[in-house]
A and B are shown apart, each in its own frame.
Chain A
Amino acid sequence: MSEAHPTTHDDAHGHGHEQGFVSKYIFSTDHKVIGIQFLVTTLLMLMVGGALALGVRWQLAFPWESMPIVGPMLFSGDGGQISPEFYTMLFTMHATVMIFLVIIPILAGAFGNFLIPLMIGADDMAFPVLNMLSYWFMWPAITCFFASFFCAGNGAAAGWTSYPVLSAIAESAPGSGMAQNWWLLGVTLVGVSSMMGSVNYMTTIINMRAPGMTLFRMPLTIWGMFITAILQAFALPVLTAAGFMLVADRLLGTCFFIPAGLVVNNADPTVGGGQSLLWQHLFWFYSHPAVYIMLLPAMGMVSDMLSAAARKPIFGYKPMVYSMAAIAGLGFIVWGHHMFTSGMNPALGMTFMTSTMMIALPSAIKTFNWIGTIWGGKIEFNTFTLNSIAFVSMFVVGGLSGIFMAAVPVDIYIHDTYFIVAHFHYVLFGATLFGVFGAIYFWYPKMFGRKMNDTLGKWHFFLTFLGANGTFFPMHLLGVAGMPRRYANPYLHDYLEHLLPMNQFMTYSAILMGSAQFLLLFNFAYSLFYGEKVGRNPWKANGLEWTAPSPPGHGNFDVLPVCYRGPYEYSSPLVEEDYLLQTEYIPPEGQKESKEEHAEPEHA
């Protein structure tokens, strides 16, 4: 614990205040600066990913009609009609950007970095330089992904899942040439960045908690980040290894994933002896836990926000922690549900179905607990509250639709249809991004010392919520109607023709949703300069971070925080106010012990 001590801190970082601009704001080792760097970068990437998604939606609503901007620029001779491989690129890169450059880094990178030391009462991360590198490894990754746009085929186009043989043989698709190499390199670099982060978070959370901050006094955000870090650390090496194997298949002539005798694009038959299902197993062994990597931190943050919003302790703190752990544990043994129709051993199908059904249980428990948290609270509808409620509301839909695809026979029908697309957008957009939006409004004052504009925030929420539901809810129906994913022109098939008007409605909703995000960006930038100035604890919340100045200076806390209780003691009868900071010492009745004595023994 000595690292956390303010005096040691001053010795170690005594020169901190003389830093130049570059080392202070660009190559900074301060976790807060890195967190904000991550936040700004990922918000920009969110716009890029959103633009790609709008491209997809445009084609689905107005198939083969000139796509705005892109059509005149790239396909002017063809009357602005995009090419089919351009469409496959659009959804591939949309998913890639959103998953690897937005959701994972915004949760772990932005909020993980900013919140972990503050919430556990540490002055910085355990490995500040590693932390800086984790951010700066994002940029080579972003560069790689963007480089792939300028290769043949305008970008990788084998889907974000990159199933071989499509992704393994350059001839099999226009985007499977150099673009796919850049893509794989990008994914590897993102992996390196995430790995650096997760090692750092685990070490920090285990070793650098403030005195009195026991594991079960940690806010659920920290639990979410902690479990996520563990998931990353265990799952990511598998993806990286699989990625290297795929690169070897592509560049070194190995055949891990390429079976013999395939004739692709009229080339000579392949000579392999590989098995393309191997990739699916390895990929989903990472990517299913990755779904929880993209969800658990948001669940944690929403728990914190809901509790603060309801002025009430979180309902069932320990069940919340245990269910997160259960999700993480079960998350490792459900990857096969992505492969029910892949022709793997049917017995595995049954096993994965059972484990997948079971993973719905902790999610259900969490939902009930969130409702329980609001129950009997004193809620006020400000922006972060609304976003948190939206999180719960949409997570319910996303969770329940998951049950359909967990059931193997039903999955036979809905697999790879829009039902799946609806499901994961409800979870990743509906749940995670609303959680993130809420978190931005909630912790913004701590980051910059000013509040974001509440009216703009509510408008942003209102439009986004409507737009998101308008875009994603009809996808369930498209799925039930049998519309497969990743079709550049589904209306080619008679049985899908009548779905065009619905797709057009969805596209209008998506445009609404996309435009609403400019409100967020504007609000974010505007409030930096003109937002209402606030003190240390604008929301009257309990966590350690609210005892630090806003924004916290170098080293975070002016005095070493000592933690006396859990973070959710809202409306405690012990005090008059409706909140009770974790650091506030209240001598038990009838006893007159000193602070120090009380604090010492709690953690070992």
Chain B
Amino acid sequence: MRWFWILFFAVCPIAALVICIIAPGMDWWFPSEAGSPLGERIDSLFHLILYIVTGTFIGTQIAMVFVLWKSSKQDDERAWFSHGSHNLEVIWTIVPAGILLFIALYQMDVWAEYRVVSNFPKEARRAPVAEVMARQFEWRIRYPEPGRILQIQAQPTDLYAVNELIVPAAKPVMIYLKTQDVQHSFFLPELRVKQDAVPGQIIPVWFEATKPGEYDLVCAELCGWGHYKMGARVVALAEEEFAAAMEQLETEQSDDGFAESGDDDEE
């Protein structure tokens, strides 16, 4: 039985490790490559921590299995009567402390860039693209009329959309995030963006989609029974296409059903 249990405690971590190694190949990993510059940095921080943590994990598990093997030998020797080692304690206090502090300090930059408003890219800060208002259970979006600046208060010329946020690609964009009812969270898995929409607050959020394309937008904070339903998409378009899309939205929104004699309902 002794060997069974030693192997048991050895096999489980090995299995965990193997699963982690094959995970990216099995598509059990990030939903896609990070689609934003900040996302790439977040990923590299993730991987940095992953390597440190994996090293520690392997180290501790090996140490544990080793001591289990050593100390479960069936001989007549007495256990080692020791109350500990001052030196060892000092080493395994200082070394992890150093590593942890390093991890903490190393992360500050990305965080500051992501969240501190004065660090936001200027071009994004100057012209917010849209106001995203979460409600149970959808995302309502309000754009300024092309050529205007988004106001906090709704304007007669504003354009509205639901569950589809169109942004220009390859440049930083900022949105105002708010909620109509309970707390929601604006989560773009592919772009590695997450920000809660807190009741009563308007929160500026910026991100940049490197490539044009469609990205998932989901809710990441429990907002009631339909929490899982809040799927939407962010569509990043090249600059000209974005302008065209806004124009089109404007045309659609001012549709008076007269010109096209009846087939105006097609979107």
Chain A residues within CB distance 8 Å of chain B: 83-85, 87-88, 157-159, 163-166, 169, 172-174, 258-265, 272, 274-277, 310-317, 319, 341-343, 346-347, 349-350, 353-354, 357-358, 360-361, 364-365, 367-369, 371-372, 374-381, 386, 389, 392-393, 396-397, 400-401, 403-404, 406-410, 412-413, 415-417, 462, 465, 469, 473-474, 476-478, 480-482, 484-490, 492-495, 498-499, 502, 568, 570-573, 578
Chain B residue at minimum C-beta to C-beta distance from A260: B200
A310–B29 CA distance with the chains assembled, in angstroms: 40
Chain A residues within 8 Å of B201, by CB: 259, 343
B57 pairs with A317, CB closer than 8 A: no
Q: Which residues of A contact B229 (CB under 8 A)?
A: 84, 492
Residues on B with beta carbons closer than 8 Å to the beta carbon of A274: 200
| Sampled A-B contacts (9; CB under 8 Å) | A84-B229, A87-B225, A165-B199, A276-B183, A276-B200, A310-B79, A378-B71, A400-B53, A481-B30
B residues with CB within 8 A of A: 1-2, 5, 8-9, 12-13, 15-16, 19-20, 23, 27-32, 39, 41-42, 45-46, 49-50, 52-53, 56-57, 60-61, 63-64, 67-68, 70-72, 77-85, 88-89, 92-93, 96-97, 100-101, 103-104, 107-108, 110-112, 114-116, 136, 179-183, 185, 187, 189-190, 192-196, 198-201, 203, 216, 218-229, 231
Q: For the complex, give the distance between the alpha carbons of A115 and B11 in Å.
A: 35
Complex Cα spacing A316 to B250, Å: 71
If the complex has contacts A371-B60, A372-B84, are A412 and B79 also in contact, measured as CB distance less than 8 A? no
Most chain A CB within a 10 A radius of its CB, from B70, B189, B216, B225: B225
The CA of A343 and the CA of B114, in the complex, are separated in Å by: 11
Bound form: Cα–Cα A413–B39 in Å:
9
User: Are A262 and B28 CB-contacts (below 8 A) given A166-B222, A364-B96?
Assistant: no
| B200→A488 contact, CB < 8 A | no
B223 to chain A, nearest CB (A): 7
Instruction: Name the one of B61, B180, B223 contacting A393, with C-beta atoms under 8 angstroms.
Output: B61
Check A316–B84 contact: CB distance below 8 A. yes
Contacts A346-B112, A376-B70; A315 near B78 (Cβ below 8 A)? no
A319 touches B84 (CB 8 A): yes
- Which residues of chain B have C-beta atoms less than 8 A from A485's C-beta? 220, 222
Given contacts A357-B101, A487-B227, 11 further A-B contacts (CB under 8 A): A258-B199, A276-B198, A313-B84, A365-B92, A378-B79, A412-B114, A413-B39, A416-B221, A474-B19, A476-B20, A484-B220
**Which residues on the B side are within 8 Å of A476 (C-beta)?**
20
Structural contact, A407 and B196, CB atoms closer than 8 A: no
- B19:A482 contact, CB within 8 angstroms: no
How far apart sit A341 and B203, CA to CA, in the bound complex (Å)? Answer: 11
- Give the shortest distance, in Å, between A532 (CB) and chain B (any CB): 19
Q: Assess whether B89 is in contact with A316, with CB atoms less than 8 Å apart.
A: yes
CB B261 to nearest CB in A, in angstroms, measures 36
Whole-angstrom distance from the CB of B8 to the nearest CB of chain A?
8
Q: Are A400 and B57 in contact (CB under 8 A)?
A: yes
Complex: A342 Cα to B201 Cα, angstroms: 11
A478–B69 CA distance with the chains assembled, in angstroms: 34
Contacts of B52 in A (CB 8 A): 403
Contact B111 A408 (CB under 8 A): yes
Cross-chain contact B70 with A172 (CB below 8 angstroms): no
Chain A residue with Cβ nearest B43:
A413
* A400 touching B56 in the complex, CB below 8 Å, given contacts A416-B185, A484-B219: yes
A94 to B78, CA, bound (A): 46
- A346 touching B79 in the complex, CB below 8 Å, given contacts A84-B225, A277-B198: no
Contact among B78, B115, B225 with A378 in the assembled complex (CB-CB below 8 Å): B78
Residue contact B182 to A342, C-beta cutoff 8 Å: no
Q: Is the CB–CB distance between A481 and B28 below 8 Å?
A: yes
Q: Are A85 and B225 in contact (CB under 8 A)?
A: yes
- Name the residue of chain B whose CB is nearest to the CB of A502: B28
* Known A163-B222, A315-B84, A409-B110: A570·B198 in contact at CB below 8 Å: no
**Residues A465 and B12 in contact, CB atoms below 8 Å apart:** yes
Closest A residue, CB atoms, query B203: A343
